[in-house]
Structures are given as structure tokens and as C-alpha cells.
Amino acid sequence: MKNTEKISRSLRTRHVKYGGYAAIVTLAVVAGLIGINLICQIVAPQFDLTQNKLFSLSEQSLQVADSLQTPVTIYCLWEPGKETAQVKQIVDLYAARTGSIRLEDIDPDKNPGFVVKYDEDKRGIERGSLVIEGEKDFRVIRLQDMYEVNYANPQNPQITGFSIERRITGALLYVSSGVTPVVYEITGHKEVSMAELAMQEMIERENYSLRQLNLIQADVPQDASALILNGPKSDLTSAETEKLRAYLDKGGRLIALMDIQTGPSPNLDGLFSAYGIRFEFGVVVELNKDYMTAGNPYYCVPDMGGHEITQALLEKKSPAVLPFARGVSSLDVRRQSARLVPFLASSQLSFLRTDLSQNTPDITDTDIQGPIVLGMAVSETLGEEETRIVAIGCGTFLEPLSLFGQVPGNIDMFMNGLTWLEEKPENLSVRSKSLLAAPMNMTERYVIIFGLVFVVLVPLALFALGFVTWLKRRHL
């Protein structure tokens, strides 16, 4: 009896009570973790925490998948269990989104006849590629086309980004419509061709057919869905201008990247003034360090305005760089039907140097104070036809910047401009996803703020904490 009372009293002590509470809490936490683990195994939630959402589909890709009216089969050319992990994750997202997409694994070694059927150019289709087939046509996405590769060092090429989503979404649009828009690049004025800029393959991967057009030798073809005027080094002739004007007046589409002209260009000036814009003579000098690259005042990193062309770039914080840019201004006297939307502009500290013989870094009386508009989207509806023009004041917009190579933001903006001309909003934000970590670009203000926080406030806080702890222990 005494032993029972002794045990009962010992169980009622404070140490036993606290120990019991601790044990109960520990068991509850362990049970909760086990329950959460079981739920996660059943539900299998996934969260894409990568900066560029490498393993998530954009809203536009989801819209394309949802809009499919006919069945599409994605043949994955790999042996089951030996697939490319990144590609497998993305194609699974498409199939999970809609029942119109069916996935089928094909081992090319066991089914060589299947590969031959889709190998139209006889180059072979390597393991890891995809074949996307609809009722009207098919498209092959080769493994190497799913990645962006920098070949600046041929001995050690570097994978810089994923193009998996962009390729699949473009292929879905193609196989579901069976239509390939034809884009012509204007030649004959010492323009740098899209092929020389490594842009032809990219344009064609976006479901466009790219061809060249010399306006001296031919009219604008009837199948032209858009024209590209890339940095002409001389003015167009009056005959060329009239052909271009006739095309635009009938609802034509044009993307113009205009370089600084060494001489007058009355024909081009007259063409653009008909739509209310003018490419200013001169070069933009940027004095705001936050708006330039590598400390070069002639390499402007412009502000992006709210427009379909720039929306996706703003969301993923992908800057553009305009080397030796010229301004694009709106004319006070223009047709009321023309709608002009600026989407690129320099800072308030910049200026447009109109006298190129001036060497001073400071603004002069002949210069035009910033901000300077560098990109303009023009649209005009006359009757049932809508004309669209993308005007960017930089003829070297797509050219590599010395050690930097081609600017990803420039390429994306060009492609977004082209898809805006084509009125294909579902493609505007489906761009390659970079694997490169962008360097932190801190303004002087943030440098001061972070300096005060980590050099002054944090040490003071630690000192105060230590001092208070010392006082408490001193009086124990």
C-alpha cells in the first residue's frame, strides 16, 4: 500500500508532469509528420521554386493546350525509364492539362521504321527527341533544339537555357492549324541577314517560314504575313518605298530596326511619317548608370512600357540593351486613326546627341534632353484592314555585343514583336527560360542602404544584445 502511494505521489510531481506533456507533444508532432508524409505521397504536390519557373508552363502554353480541338500525340523517342528528366517533366505537364494530348514512348532502337517515317530531311532523329503529330501534320523537335547553347567557346559550349516549352507550344500551334505564316526580310541595302545573326532557325522554330525579298526586283508577295527591315545602311528607292507603302496600306505588318543613317533618307522618312512616327537623327547618350551596360553610355538599358511586346519581359525581369540607339518620336501632325504606343525609353538623365561631331560627354545646346523614346508600336485600322508596325531605333539590336554575345532580352523582344504583328498573343510570353544567374544590379541608393544595414545597424544590434546579456548575468 505504501509503495502504491509512493508511486502515485511520484507521478504527480512537476518533473513527471512536464515530462509527460513533452512526450505527448513529441508523439503528436511525430504523428502529424507521418500524416503529412502519407498525404503528400497520395496527393504528390509539386512546387516550382526556380527563378524562371523552369518546370512550369506559362499561361499562354496552358491556353494553347486548352484550345486544342483535335487529338495530338507526342511520341517520346526514348526507352522507358531512360528518358531525359527535364523533357519528361514538361511533356507530362501538357498531358496532365488536357485529354487532347496523348503521350507514347517509342524506343528508336527497337522501332527504326518509326523514325524513318518522320525523318524527312534524312538527318536522323536522335534519342531524346519528340515527334508531335496532329490530324493535319507533324513536327519533330530534336533534342539539341530543346536547349539554348552558347558556342562562344567552341571547345566548351555552355547550355544557357531551356527551350522545351517554347518548342512544344509552337509545335502544338502548327500541328493543330497546319498553317505556316511567311515572313520576308527586305534585302539590297547592306542589311545583316537573319541567317547571319543566327535568327533564321529561331524564327522558323516559332512556326514561321522566313524568305528574302528584294523590292527592286519584285513586289511584296501576296503570302507575306510580315516584313523585316533590319538596319538598312542606305535609303530605299522611291519605287521600293511605294511598294512597301502599298503593302502597309492594305493592312501589312512591318518590324523596322533602324540604324543611324550616314546621309539623308527622305523615302524612309516619308514612309514612316505617314503613320505618325519619325526616326530621329543622332545617338542616345545615357548618363544614368542604372540605364547603361558595362559603364558604356552608348549601351542603353531602356525602361519598358506597358505593352504586349514587353509584358513577359517585365514579368521575368529580362532587360534589353540598345547599343548606339536613335530616338523614335511621334509627330504632332498625323492621322487620328493611327495609334502610337511607346514601349522603350531612356532615362531622364539621357539625351539625344544630334551633332555627332561633338565629343563632350555633357549635354549641349544642340542635344535633346531625355527621356528619349526608343521603341514604338504603331497600329492603324482603315476599314477592315489593320496595319501594324514595330519601330525600334537600333539597327544592331540583334547583333552580339562583343563579349556579351546576343542579348536574350533583345531576342525575346524581337520575337514578341513579330508575334504581336501576327496577332498571336498565345506566343508572346513563351520564350526560352534562362539558366544563367543574372548579376545583381544595385543602384547607388541601395548600396548606401545595404551598407548602413550591414556595416552599422547589424553590428550595433549585436553589440546591444551582448551588452544586455552581460548586464543580466552581472546581477545574478
Residue range 341-394, pLDDT digits in tens? 999 999 999 999 888 888 888 888 888 998 999 999 999 888 788 899 999 999
The CA–CA distances, whole Å, from 391 to 194, 228, 368 equal 17, 11, 20
Most confident of 251-260, 334-343, 462-471: 251-260
Closest residue by Cα to residue 252 from 374, 379, 425, 417 = 379
**Model pLDDT, residue 110:** 81
Is the model's pLDDT at 424 over the cut of 70?
no
Could you read off the pLDDT of 454-468 as tens digits, one per residue? 788 888 888 888 877
**DSSP-H helix ranges across 215-369:** 238-249, 266-273, 308-315
Residues facing 285 on adjacent strands: 351
Domain 51-179, classified CATH 3.40.50.2000, yes or no: no
Quick one: CA dihedral 81, 82, 85, 87, positive or negative? negative
CB atoms within 10 A of CB 307: 20
294 vs 444, more confident: 294
Could you read off the pLDDT of 176-211 as tens digits, one per residue? 776 778 999 999 999 999 999 888 877 887 778 899
434 — pLDDT class (breaks 50, 70, 90): low
**Which one of 3.30.420, 3.40.1350, 3.30.230, 3.40.50 gives the CATH number of domain 182-434?**
3.40.50
How would you list the strands of the sheet with 101-106, edge to edge? 101-106, 72-77, 130-133, 138-141
Task: Locate the DSSP E strands across 280-336.
Answer: 283-285, 292-293, 296-300, 303-304, 322-323, 328-330
Cell representation of residue 435: 539558366
Consecutive H or E run containing 460: helix 458-474
Is the model's pLDDT at 433 over the cut of 90?
no
40 — pLDDT class (breaks 50, 70, 90): low
**Model pLDDT, residue 242:** 94
Most confident of 42-51, 269-278, 427-436: 269-278
DSSP 8-state symbol, 365: T
Consecutive H or E run containing 100: none
Rounded to the nearest 5 degrees, what angle is found at the Cα of 447, between the Cα atoms of 444 and 451? 145
Consecutive H or E run containing 15: helix 14-43
Contact 191, 236 (CB under 8 A): no
The amino acid sitting at 404 is: F
78 vs 23, more confident: 78
**Model pLDDT, residue 419:** 85
123: left (phi over 0), alpha (psi -120 to 50) or beta: alpha
Distance CA 422, CA 432 (A): 20
**Model pLDDT, residue 157:** 61
**Model pLDDT, residue 246:** 93
**Model pLDDT, residue 334:** 81
**DSSP-H helix ranges across 250-307:** 266-273
- Which residues are within 8 A (CB) of 87 and not within 5 positions of it... i.e. 6 or more apart? 76, 128, 130, 143, 146, 164
- The domains of the chain are located at 2-43, 51-179, 182-434, 443-476
**Model pLDDT, residue 431:** 54
Is the model's pLDDT at 220 over the cut of 90?
yes
DSSP-based three-state secondary structure for 10: helix
Distance CA 253, CA 244 (A): 10
Quick one: CA dihedral 368, 411, 176, 172, positive or negative? negative
Distance CA 209, CA 181 (A): 6
Is the model's pLDDT at 437 over the cut of 70?
no
Distance CA 33, CA 202 (A): 49
- Which residues are within 8 A (CB) of 164 and not within 5 positions of it... i.e. 6 or more apart? 86, 87, 90, 146
Contact 341, 328 (CB under 8 A): no
